[in-house]
A = this chain, B = another copy of it.
Amino acid sequence: MEDLDLKNIIEDIEYLASEKNSRMILNILVGNYPADVAQILGNLSEENEKYVFGLLDADTASDVIVELDDVSREKLVSELQHERISEIVDEMESDDATDLVAELPDEIAEKVLDAIDEEGSEEVKELLQHEEDTAGGIMALEYVSMPEETTVDEAIEEIRAKAEDVPEVYNVYVVDKEGMLVGFLPLKNLIVAQASQKLKDVLIADVISVPTEMDQEEVANIFRRYNLVSIPVVDELGRLVGRITVDDIVEVIEEEASEDMQKMAGIADEEEIRETSVFKISFGRLPWLLVGFVGQLIAALVLFQFEASLKDIFLAIFFIPMMMAMGGNSGIQAATIVVRGIALGELSPDDTFKRLSREIRVSLVNGMVCGLLLFGIIAIFYNPSFGLVLALSMLAVIINASILGASIPLILRRVGVDPAIAAGPLITTFNDIIGLAIYLGLVTASLQYI
């Protein structure tokens, strides 16, 4: 939806809402995609958002609410009666219903689970068992599966019958008598097959599936690797228990990328772009700021150790920022490539040594370029021997930073910590401390020659 259209629609609806003209509002909203209605709602005043959402029938409301961002949804839902929530949950697919129920306070959740239809309630309870960020946590129970003895004709009949309940059908999953997944059939293959053939004779047996407990990031990498639109989820015995579709995976990929970026910037909890609570934002960002704070106190102590040298060569002080910054920048560059490679599953543990040796070679080139440049400038405007000390320091600081930047994420992965948290303030702070020690150490060692 274009920004201009959106602005006009919002103005119209704000006006109509103030007039309580519900019929006109629904006239405007009808025929819009749920995502567009959600965007309109998100831009209304809080009071009007609540009013307009209240006008929607349960079916539309259920489509719209899953499209709202987390902050808006949480606020909106917190003001709804549990009867209304139950109506909405009843219209949702199992995975969305589960997400919504999981966000509710316990006593409301219980009331909702009591009020919705029994099948739905069972499904939600089943899905609630799984960790949120795993295949089980994002799968839905709406899929089409059939026994291997079914004929193509019967399968098509079955799809007709199920058409309402399962909005997205790309593949039919085929199971044996024990419920074990034995193959799948893209809809296209079903159309192409003979009516009287049995599924077991036309199925594709080479089916890629994931276990319920697999991390969602790994599931996303499998979608990407094998170009999938949906994937069946199986339990530890290999029985089909759910399905994940690619639209949910697209969300996962965006979410994981945002999370990685935010961790790299030193933000503890994933911060919603539309987050409104200043304290929530602050508390997400403070922890790493404070780690940096402590690190910089140590840096102050490092400088203090070199007080005598600094007094002797006062000029050395002016290049402290440069040594810190060049180390920090080089370290982040190396770390970013490694963190991203790990996240995409493209950097295997075997590559560790290769990656490190490459980073060292790159930092040699970059350190020499920057070092030579600095030497030239200082040699011309001041004196060559101080220029040489600065250039060597620069080279050493950049090499050190690249090694730190590339190795810390690799080490964190090995001990099972998310490498992304390392790539920001942690590496920068380490670099500052070690970089300062290297620089001032070299200055002190060469005091007599400068």
- Per the 8 Å Cβ criterion, residues 363-409 of A in contact with B are 365-366, 369-370, 373-374, 377
- List the one stretch of A73-81, A84-92, A291-299 in contact with chain B: A291-299
- Per the 8 Å Cβ criterion, residues 128-174 of A in contact with B are 156, 159-160, 163, 168-170
Interface residues on A, range: 35 or more
Known: A281-B362, A282-B366, A340-B261. A317 touches B293 (CB 8 A): no
Q: Does A228 sit within 8 A of B, measured CB to CB? A: yes
- List the one stretch of A46-54, A112-120, A262-270 in contact with chain B: A262-270
Q: Which B residues are CB-close (under 8 A) to A177?
A: none
Q: Which B residues are CB-close (under 8 A) to A361?
A: 278
Docked-complex contact B246 and A279, CB < 8 angstroms: no
Q: Does A286 sit within 8 A of B, measured CB to CB? A: yes
Docked-complex contact B293 and A326, CB < 8 angstroms: yes
Docked-complex contact B160 and A191, CB < 8 angstroms: yes
Docked-complex contact A251 and B224, CB < 8 angstroms: yes
Known: A223-B250, A261-B264, A279-B365. A322 touches B346 (CB 8 A): no
Shortest CB-to-CB span from A6 to chain B, Å, is 8
Bitwise interface map of A from 41 to 83 toward B, beta carbon under 8 Å scored 1, else 0? 0000000000000000000000000000100000000000000
Chain A residues in contact with chain B, CB under 8 A?
Answer: 3, 7, 31, 33, 35, 69, 156, 159-160, 163, 168-170, 187-188, 190-192, 206, 208, 223-229, 246-247, 249-251, 253-254, 257-258, 260-262, 264-267, 271, 273-274, 276, 278-279, 281-282, 285-286, 288-290, 292-293, 295-297, 299-301, 303-304, 307, 310-311, 314, 317-322, 324-326, 328-330, 332-333, 335-337, 339-341, 344, 346-350, 358, 361-362, 365-366, 369-370, 373-374, 377, 424-425, 428-429, 432, 436
